[in-house]
Structure 1
């Protein structure tokens, strides 16, 4: 099955998933502004640049990465859970990158009005629900509280997904010292498939504020770090060689493959905690399908994300 195809059963599962997420938004936000279903708590929207070197290996000069240079970008850092809660418990964190003014043919236009390449990454190397049916059931359990969670948990076929969710949910002291993963796989030119992994320049950054950790300490730490110095990450790819070690459909298996650096993500010193930047972060849409055709997302979960992200973004703005 290609990324352009889906069965009637899959289509129904995607429609049911979208309806579930809309129902949650209606229930959670009875009036006024609707936030994202996931990653609603934003720590910051940061200016950045993505530098693509001239000396990449020939096989990696594909899509965006066959055009060396420095590209302007935005980075949105967030907590993954659907409700805005304290930063202190174990959780997943998100880092979404939007690279601006890219050359080439894109899959979907970006509402900001320029062609972009989006990378959506989290602190988990896997997506614990590995097919659309399980994905839909897991999201319903996460969104609709204890009763739905119990119904999900009593099914033995769901136990591995639950175990993986807890395994990769961790406490974090500093967002700039984490490794972030794309979860799903992507085309990389006409022949390769890859996953993207973002590794920090300084993995030893920790909590340095002279006060006890509050509910929003990750943002407070990020503000301090960005106001005092520049930071950075390396964008790497893992290349698919075989379905056992690097499965394309089963997102619950972490790929066993070397990290090959392909670009540098640079975050200049800046002050980002402004009303204008916060509003931009709320309005800005991110999707793995906003990008070049040469980096088309693959797999069932990515096919579901295409529809879900687009329809829910529009629904929030009604």
Structure 2
């Protein structure tokens, strides 16, 4: 599969980068630049990833080649570009950084060791299924109601708007949600997959016994991890059909059943303290900080490579003053 960036894509990506940089410059003071999306962090947590020992030979690829246990950093977040109440409908994010992975990586991780990053959200799709549409959507999202109105009046954008609203929901507990990789990824030399993270206990809810605050998701996460371990299982959906499982168009949900490949464990812990919160804010994640066997695939992933790198460098530079 050709996964290179052509001249048209390059132009669109550079426009996206400049749009996001302008938004960040207009929104935050120097020294406190946050992420363009997922700026509200609920918590930065320690965990472990256990690769299962019963995988079929076809799935023994890359990180999943053999049974092993890895330390991970986890960052839970809200997706919208502006920090808002947890009571609002939105997407939630879970970024996973698997540490000290064996093999050759595509990009070095700023943390200083070989890493495999997974960037996941509660939406099974990325509603702007192409770089061109994403370029238009991002301008509408970031720069006020007039741009949003113009975007919304175009019938070519209605499907994207419908999908965005469909998958923007209220959530009571971050540990009870399914998370999805959105884009597709290589899985060894001749397979492609999407990753799905399913909770071990999907019945967890809001249990604090008081009215929800604007930050109740962090408060609930702290309560749930005070004395009890929680977990997720990672599944892969293996690509077989370009029509039902397109590699380029991220707006089409893959429906096929996943195969379990690993378990993610989050032990009981205290994570809400100044040093950890600063560390979590400083962490950067990119799907391209990964093993070659898990190369990100498709236009949106190609855009993310340049966009995430530029914006991470911007935060690092501006926040060091």
- Please confirm whether the aligned pair reaches a TM-score higher than 0.5, indicating the same fold: yes
RMSD: 0.8
Secondary structure at 1:235 match in 2: strand
Alignment pair present for 1:213 and 2:212: yes
Q: What are the superposed Cα offsets for residues 87-112 of structure 1, whole Å, 9 maximum, x if unpaired? A: 00110000010000000000000011
Secondary structure at 2:96 match in 1: strand
4+ residue runs over 6 A deviation: none
Secondary structure at 1:124 match in 2: coil
Alignment pair present for 1:201 and 2:213: no
In 2, the alpha carbon distance for the partners of 1:123 and 1:60 equals 24
Q: Which structure 1 segments of 5+ residues have no match?
A: none
TM-score (norm 1): 0.98
Say how many residue pairs are matched. Answer: 317
Structure 1 equivalent of residue 2 of structure 2: 2
In 1, the alpha carbon distance for the partners of 2:301 and 2:242 equals 17
Structure 2 equivalent of residue 291 of structure 1: 290
Q: Which structure 2 segments of 5+ residues have no match?
A: none
Structure 2 equivalent of residue 273 of structure 1: 272
Map 1:56-205 to 2 at 5 A. Answer: 56-205=55-204
In 2, the alpha carbon distance for the partners of 1:169 and 1:301 equals 20
In 2, the alpha carbon distance for the partners of 1:230 and 1:102 equals 24
In 1, the alpha carbon distance for the partners of 2:310 and 2:292 equals 21
Residue pair 1:226, 1:271 contacting (<8 A) in 2 also:
yes
In 2, the alpha carbon distance for the partners of 1:54 and 1:159 equals 45
TM-score (norm 2): 0.97
In 1, the alpha carbon distance for the partners of 2:31 and 2:192 equals 42
Structure 2 equivalent of residue 44 of structure 1: 43
Secondary structure at 2:45 match in 1: strand
In 2, the alpha carbon distance for the partners of 1:24 and 1:219 equals 26
TM-aligned CA deviation for residue 32 of structure 1? 3.0
Residue pair 1:2, 1:298 contacting (<8 A) in 2 also:
no
In 2, the alpha carbon distance for the partners of 1:214 and 1:128 equals 29
TM-aligned CA deviation for residue 81 of structure 1? 0.2
Structure 2 equivalent of residue 313 of structure 1: 312
Q: What are the superposed Cα offsets for residues 232-254 of structure 1, whole Å, 9 maximum, x if unpaired? A: 00000000001111110111010
TM-aligned CA deviation for residue 304 of structure 1? 0.1
